Structure 1
Amino acid sequence: MSTHIFFDLDGTLTDSKPGIIRSVEHALNFFHMHVPSEQLIPFIGPPLRDSFAPFFDNDAARVDLAIQKYREYYNVKGIFENSLYDGIADLLRELQGQGRRLCVATSKPEPFARRVLEHFRINGFFSLVAGAELHGARNNKTDVLRYACAQWGIEDMRSCLMVGDRKYDVQGAHAVGMACAGVLYGYGSREELAEARADYLCATVPDLRRLLLGEL
């Protein structure tokens, strides 16, 4: 049973699709680019720079401007066009009650992650929030997890479990030597998570609860 649990945010704790998609659309509209919203779902999970780069032929200046325009909408509206998955708050409460140490490990910039957690009043369940840096080098899941483990002084990854919905969560977890539970209620497909070799697959929040509480 894992004593240290690292949760992704978007697609794992919260259903953030509406706000993220509208923020991407706001950015692309600035460049007179119109893409069907369903084709923008891959933006949920990886760093924004990686997602915008193919739209602008890796032109760093235009990618930077696209990120600026994305945040122009996200900071005001998009961040709250979001909802907590049913059962998540109760699960976090149970885990905290068992003495587990909980961390949010996200590629979202850390200040935004904190605002989301505070908005849904679940920030008190987490003893650590680790996210990307707005203007720094820490911007992918591997670097975020390394940072989080360093903050907690963890060296033995056998006590740790990452929970996320995309291949980036699995790859980041495995890169630092920890197992990963992939959740299928988020934005990654079963095929994506299986190909990334997620150690566990949970179709629903109740399935995740049974895994984390040792009831499987």
Structure 2
Amino acid sequence: MSFVVGFDLDMTLVDSRAGIVACMQRTLGDRGVAATDEQLWPLIGAPLADNLAQFLPADQVPGAVEQYRALYPELAVPMTTALPGAHDAFAAIREHGGQPMVVSAKYEPAVHAVLHQVGLQPDIVVGDAFGAGKAVPIKQHHATIFVGDHEGDMAGAVAGGAYALGVLTGPHDEAQLRAAGAQSVVPDLRSFGPWLNDYLSDPPAR
């Protein structure tokens, strides 16, 4: 059986919260803006420029994006770890003859750096895609399933024609994910292998 399963990156496959918050706080702090963990945590998963624009005037955003991206490899990447079940999820897909794919809003070089840091090796990597924009690579690579922690991930899955599977390791709860289009929700990726077995034994109509 050949099939593709797509995953979001931040807070779906990896715990990147501490590193992202540290880079945001340094970047904003250098511009005289203080932001708390509680303010920044719900923003993880959305495009960087959009998040910075919530705290900075428009003319400061491009420079802040550049600074954040320069900081990220040395400050954030070493703080990033694989979430429980991430490696097993990739293994489960490959045991069934499938291919794991990662589609992230993150700048693509940073996506590769994070994946190398945590030892995850998807067959396909796409960066700079958020929300309904994730539908493009989902369709291009014929992904059957898309897994994510964010409302935008569910929107991308729906727009791309993939089965939308939510995970509760990010800032959004089950009700929010289902409202955004999730067809199933699991607590974390430790549940993915059994879920995939059930899905493949009785695939839903598409």
Q: Same fold (TM over 0.5)?
A: yes
| Identity of matched residues, % | 28
Partner of 2:204: none
Match of 1:98 among 96, 99, 114: 96
The answer to whether the 8 A contact 1:46-1:107 is kept is yes
Pair 1:129 & 2:125 matched = yes
- The answer to whether the 8 Å contact 2:28/2:64 transfers is yes
What is the CA-CA distance between 1:148 and the residue it aligns to?
Answer: 5.0
Counting only pairs closer than 5 Å after superposition, residues 20-169 of structure 1 correspond to structure 2 as: 20-57=20-57, 59=58, 61-123=59-121, 126-132=122-128, 139-150=129-140, 152=141, 154=142, 160-169=144-153
Question: C-alpha distance in 2, partners of 1:148/1:76?
Answer: 31
Q: Which is further off, 67-76 or 160-169? A: 67-76
Partner SS for 1:180? strand
Report the counterpart of residue 135 of structure 1 in structure 2.
none
Aligned-residue CA RMSD in angstroms?
Answer: 2.1
Contact 1:165-1:184 at 8 Å conserved across structures: yes
Q: Residue type matched to 2:69 in 1?
A: R
Q: Distance in 1 between matches of 2:29 and 2:70?
A: 13
Q: Which residue of 2 aligns with 1:203?
A: 187
Q: Which amino acid aligns with 1:143?
A: G
* TM-score with structure 1 setting the length: 0.84
- CA displacement 1:138-165 (0-9 Å, x = unmatched): x424334413532x3x3xxxx6111000
Conservation of the 8 A alpha-carbon contact between 1:14 and 1:82: yes
Cα shift readout 1:83-127 (whole Å, capped 9, x = no counterpart): 11122212211211210121011111111111111222221xx21
Gaps in structure 1 of 5+ consecutive residues: 133-138
Quick one: distance in 1 between partners of 2:2 and 2:35? 41
> Structure 2: 5+ residue runs without aligned partners?
202-206
Q: 1: CA distance between counterparts of 2:189 and 2:173?
A: 16
Q: Does residue 175 of the first structure (1) align with residue 144 of the second (2)?
A: no
Q: Is the 8 A contact 2:135 2:160 kept in 1?
A: yes
Q: What residue is the counterpart of 2:174 in the other structure?
A: 190
User: In structure 2, what residue type is equivalent to 1:64?
Assistant: P
The residue type equivalent to 1:92 in the other structure is F
Post-superposition Cα deviations, 1:155-187, rounded to whole Å, max 9, x if no partner, equal xxxx61110000010011112222210101223
Counterpart Cα distance in 2 of 1:23 and 1:72: 9
Selected match of 1:214 from 181, 198, 205: 198
Note the C-alpha offset of 1:190.
2.2
Aligned length in residues: 200
Change (3 A) 1:48 1:2: farther
